[in-house]
Structures are given as C-alpha cells and as structure tokens.
Chain A
C-alpha cells in the first residue's frame, strides 16, 4: 500500500507527522528550534493538520506515525523507538532526539505468588502488553514460554485482575507501576524519540535531510545502540536450569 498524494502536500510543503501525547511538546519545541515555523501547533485544538509557512504538520496518534511515514503520507516525523520497534515498518531512522526517554520493562505484582514457582508449575507465563512484537521477541530470546495477551490501555491492571502474570510496558519514572504495587522484574530496552524519514523522501527531498541536520545540532547525541539485556540474567529459569 502506498498513500495517495503523499509528499504532494498543499503548496508542496513538507509533511511532518508529530505525535500527540507525551512527546508532543518536546517535538514542537525541537521543530521550532530547528527553524521551522510552528505557529498554531502550540494550540492545535481539534485540528488534525496544521499548515504553516514551512510545513504541513500532521498531528498523529504516536503509534500511527511510522505507518504515515512508511507509506509516504508524511515525508518525515517523530516517533519513539518503542513505537518504531513494535511497528517494524520501513522508515529511515535518522536521528536520536534525546527526549522522551523511557524504558521497556517486564513488571509483576508485588502481591502475586512467586513467579518462578508459578512458571515452573504452569510451564507458561501469561504476559499482557500493548507491544506484542517486542514482548514476544524479548521472551523468545530468553527461552521463556509465554502466552501474550494484547491489551489497549491500563496495562498495569492486568496482573491485578488476574488476566496476566506479568506485563511488558514502557515506563518513564516508574510512578504508575509503584502506585499499582507493581515492581520491575527486568529491563527490555530503552527508548527515546527518533526523527524518522520516508525512504523515498530521504532520497529525493533535500528538505528532509536539511531538517535532520538542523535537528542534529540541537539534539543530545546518543551513542548507545539498542540495548538488549543479557539473556542469561533472566529471572525465569529455562528448562533444566
């Protein structure tokens, strides 16, 4: 599938997908600091497309940013590493913007019975998550057998109401986990906001590269690649251990 009229934004403006929610303010600030006219983005109200002198900003649900960019509906955009890994779509990951830092963790209820015991007995862990792909890859790499339940929100509820033994979710400060008496069992991967481009736009539209360059001057350069925890450190023993 390819988006119709992609890149042919009105007046030939660059189309930039901006994630609403937690990354929104920092994204607007970064784009503005990179020299783009972002007037109107501060208070978009219910508007879904904000057009300024420089660009057409598409205000997107964070998980839809990679979809818009991969299919060419937007030339570029900002998305968390977490969302990119889960989407597994073809976008050019151009820049680590440094903000929006959070971690993927496995967490379980502090009041629940011993997980190791339960895993030994049942032979399978029930995992609730919004990120089934990341969760599956994580447990696969550790040889832990899991049943994954995809939920769409309030993942912290899952262990409390007994639909899952553990959750895989993102956390920035850990406050929500704490408030729900959940504790972190292991780290999956860290995430920050990334500037991503449509592969065709990166090759053919110099404005995407210019924007990446302008943003790179601002961003804190991250030297860390995707970090995967040591599989041997898994708290869930594999068969025979």
Chain B
C-alpha cells in the first residue's frame, strides 16, 4: 500500500520548500525592519474562544474533541489567535504592539473543489493604534513585502467599509434590509445589491449613492469622487481619514502600487475601516487581504483598535511562477566522499569557508559520482 495524505493536505518537497523558505524570509526581513516582533500561537484553540471573535465558523473550521470532551478547532486564520494572545497575555504591556507571523491555517472544504485544507499565512498585525498612521503603515509594509519577494507586477486595492456603513445608516431602513445589503455585498452579488438599493422603502438618492459608491475606484481622484457621493448624506467625515491615509501612502512612496477601490466588500461583521486586497496578473484570487478590525479584541473584553494583513504563501509562489521569478535558493552543495575521517575533516574545512557540504563517507569513484549526481552537485574525494 502506498501511504497517502488526507484530501486537501500535501507534502512540500525540497525544491518547493526552499522557495517557500526564501519567500518567508524576505517577508520577515521587511516586517522586522518596520519593528514587527515574531509571535507563535498554538495550532489548536478552544472552538468557542475562536468563534466568539471570528463569528460563525460552522463549516469553515476543523473541529475535534479532546479526552476531556472539550470542543477544539484548528485555527482557520492567524488574526483571531493573535487577538486572543494580546487579550490574554499582554494586557499589561503598554503601547502599540506590532506582531508578525508565519503559520499554517486550516479550513474545511467540500471534496472535489480542488481546494487545499491547509495553507500558510504570512502577515502582520498592529494592535492598539487607530487612524491614518497605522492604516497607511500596513499598506506600505504590504507593498514592500511584495516587492521584496521579487514580484514584478501586482496591485494593492484599498477601500473602506465605513463608506458602506455610513450610506446604509443614511438610508435608514430596517435591520433585515441592512443585513441583506451587507450579505449581497459580501457575496459580491451586485445584481441583488442593486435590487435592494431600489427598494421603495429607501430614498432614491440614497439608493443611487450606494450603487455609485461601490463602483468608485481609481487614484486619489476616486477619494474625491466618493466624497461627492456621500457628502449629501452628511457622512463625508469617513473620507477625511481616508484622504489622510492616502497622503501618507504617497509619502511612503508606494502609491504607484495602490488603487483606491470602494467596491472591496467583505466580512462586514469583522472589518470596521480600511480593507486591502493584493492582486497579481495571472492569479485569479487575491494574494492576500486584510484591514481594520476594531471590534475583534472587544470580544475578549480587551477592546483595542487593530489592523493587519495576511498573505497566502501558496498564492505567492504561484504568482512568482507566473511571473517567471525564482526566489534565490541556495546553490547546490558539494558532496565529500572518500575515507570517513578525511571526509569529516575536509567537510569541516569547506563549511568554514561557507560552502554547503553533504557527507558521503566511504564512497569513492563511480558510487561517489552517482551520489553527487543525484543532488546535482560536485563530487570531492577526501584523502
């Protein structure tokens, strides 16, 4: 019998593993330069704890019972565990917290959809800072990380869910209508969204503003266009902060990679301010996403503003492959054979000189050449 992995789980073999390691390393260097500290959290959390902050995890999270009968879950993302970590362990630590991470996350998927059930997220979170400064920082770090891994072409789309919140409030309809609007927006169902904005219980001008706002995108001029749309409803204030964020993004010299897009609509029960998504041509799904989630820590009785993003490592490798970029991977090693003692001495000498060395004590001649050949490496016989 050939042993196999469960559906949606896979092994990573050396060539791919080296590439993944290089990407992780490039991101970590950027994050670290901006002052982000690495944290790790357990792969398994208490299901109830995750669900309290993440909302409904039914059908998303892998669940299991332990011997105590406790319902546990494999973490479906890194943001909520880090929020839990901050709430549980860092309440006393003053000041803004900047964390970075790289970790496996797990999500249930139905069979035959070609979906992995384990993937790796690389990202950052800022906890304890609100406003344009933190928002612009997150966007700048995101762009720098994508540059650092060697992507030649990518776009970061930046929107703000507060615009939709403000307009829906201004429309002043009942809760059922509100939740239907948010659901249609979250599901990217513009047909249903448009239909709901034509509901005769809301003012025609409010409906038209909703339809126009989610279709507003472009450079800095899109911010002004959006302001003109929301101004009559007295909610232009949400655009003031956004304009400041944009200004800082320009100052950080990353604006050429950023597109303003008020049509980015996702997880309204989670995000409270800016939302970001990163895209690369040739990759039909976002490379990563994030935003401001000021309500999440309150679920753990430790209210604090927070913002961050996560990149999907697997999608980054796909994007790099599409763009023909191979991350710098260590050169082939040297295989040192011959007399065992001599080989150990020779290998130590070469390692000290900075070479990668594979030991093959006792192997000589053709057998040594064969061993080296399998690794695509040079053979050296120590004497």
Inter-chain contact B195/A222, CB cutoff 8 Å: yes
The answer, yes or no, to whether B191 is at the interface (CB within 8 Å) is yes
Residues in B neighbouring A4, C-beta threshold 8 A? 322
Inter-chain contact B284/A73, CB cutoff 8 Å: yes
A235→B187 CA distance, assembly (Å) = 31
A1→B279 CA distance, assembly (Å) = 15
| A69-83 interface (Cβ within 8 A of B) | 70-73
A88 nearest in chain B by CB position? B110
B115 nearest in chain A by CB position? A1
| B318-367 interface (Cβ within 8 A of A) | 318, 322
Residues in B neighbouring A204, C-beta threshold 8 A? 155, 157, 259, 279, 281
A223→B196 CA distance, assembly (Å) = 8
Inter-chain contact A200/B195, CB cutoff 8 Å: no
Inter-chain contact A8/B155, CB cutoff 8 Å: no
A37→B156 CA distance, assembly (Å) = 32
Residues in B neighbouring A100, C-beta threshold 8 A? none
A71-B284 CB under 8 A given contacts A223-B198, A225-B196: yes
Inter-chain contact B195/A2, CB cutoff 8 Å: no
Binds B, one of A91-99, A103-111, A137-145: A91-99
**Choice from A203, A222, A224 contacting B261 with Cβ under 8 Å:** A203
Contact count band on A? 20 to 34
User: Whole-angstrom distance from the CB of A139 to the nearest CB of chain B?
Assistant: 18
Inter-chain contact B284/A93, CB cutoff 8 Å: no
User: Whole-angstrom distance from the CB of B201 to the nearest CB of chain A?
Assistant: 13
| A17-47 interface (Cβ within 8 A of B) | none
**Choice from B116, B263, B284 contacting A201 with Cβ under 8 Å:** B284
A7→B155 CA distance, assembly (Å) = 15
A1→B180 CA distance, assembly (Å) = 29
A154→B40 CA distance, assembly (Å) = 55
Inter-chain contact A70/B284, CB cutoff 8 Å: yes
Inter-chain contact A93/B190, CB cutoff 8 Å: yes
The answer, yes or no, to whether A198 is at the interface (CB within 8 Å) is yes
Interface residue SS majority, chain A:
loop
Residues in A neighbouring B261, C-beta threshold 8 A? 203
**Choice from B263, B264, B277, B315 contacting A2 with Cβ under 8 Å:** B315
Interface residue SS majority, chain B:
mixed
**Choice from B114, B196, B198, B286 contacting A200 with Cβ under 8 Å:** B286
Most buried by A among B155, B194, B285: B285
A200→B196 CA distance, assembly (Å) = 25
**Choice from A72, A93, A221 contacting B192 with Cβ under 8 Å:** A93
The answer, yes or no, to whether B184 is at the interface (CB within 8 Å) is yes
**Choice from A3, A202, A224 contacting B195 with Cβ under 8 Å:** A224
B196 nearest in chain A by CB position? A225
User: Whole-angstrom distance from the CB of A55 to the nearest CB of chain B?
Assistant: 17
Inter-chain contact A199/B188, CB cutoff 8 Å: yes
A198→B277 CA distance, assembly (Å) = 14
**Choice from A1, A7, A73, A90 contacting B281 with Cβ under 8 Å:** A7
A198-B284 CB under 8 A given contacts A2-B318, A5-B322, A203-B279: yes
Inter-chain contact A223/B285, CB cutoff 8 Å: no
The answer, yes or no, to whether B96 is at the interface (CB within 8 Å) is no
Residues in B neighbouring A223, C-beta threshold 8 A? 194-195, 198
The answer, yes or no, to whether A113 is at the interface (CB within 8 Å) is no
The answer, yes or no, to whether B282 is at the interface (CB within 8 Å) is yes
Inter-chain contact B157/A8, CB cutoff 8 Å: no
The answer, yes or no, to whether A11 is at the interface (CB within 8 Å) is no
User: Whole-angstrom distance from the CB of B212 to the nearest CB of chain A?
Assistant: 13
Inter-chain contact A92/B188, CB cutoff 8 Å: yes
Residues in A neighbouring B188, C-beta threshold 8 A? 90-93, 199
User: Whole-angstrom distance from the CB of B146 to the nearest CB of chain A?
Assistant: 14
**Choice from B187, B190, B277, B315 contacting A94 with Cβ under 8 Å:** B190
The answer, yes or no, to whether B251 is at the interface (CB within 8 Å) is no
Inter-chain contact B283/A2, CB cutoff 8 Å: yes
The answer, yes or no, to whether B179 is at the interface (CB within 8 Å) is no
Inter-chain contact B180/A225, CB cutoff 8 Å: yes
A96→B115 CA distance, assembly (Å) = 29
Provide a sorted-by-A list of 27 A–B residue pairs whose CB atoms are within 8 angstroms.
A2-B285, A4-B322, A6-B282, A6-B283, A7-B284, A8-B282, A72-B282, A90-B285, A93-B189, A93-B190, A93-B192, A94-B190, A199-B188, A199-B284, A199-B285, A199-B286, A201-B284, A203-B261, A203-B263, A204-B279, A223-B195, A223-B198, A225-B180, A225-B184, A225-B191, A225-B192, A225-B196
B binding-site residues for A, Cβ under 8 Å = 113-116, 155, 157, 180, 184, 187-192, 194-196, 198, 259, 261, 263-264, 277, 279, 281-286, 315, 318, 322
Other than the known A203-B157, A223-B195, what 7 A-B pairs have Cβ atoms closer than 8 Å?
A7-B282, A71-B114, A93-B190, A94-B190, A204-B281, A222-B195, A225-B184
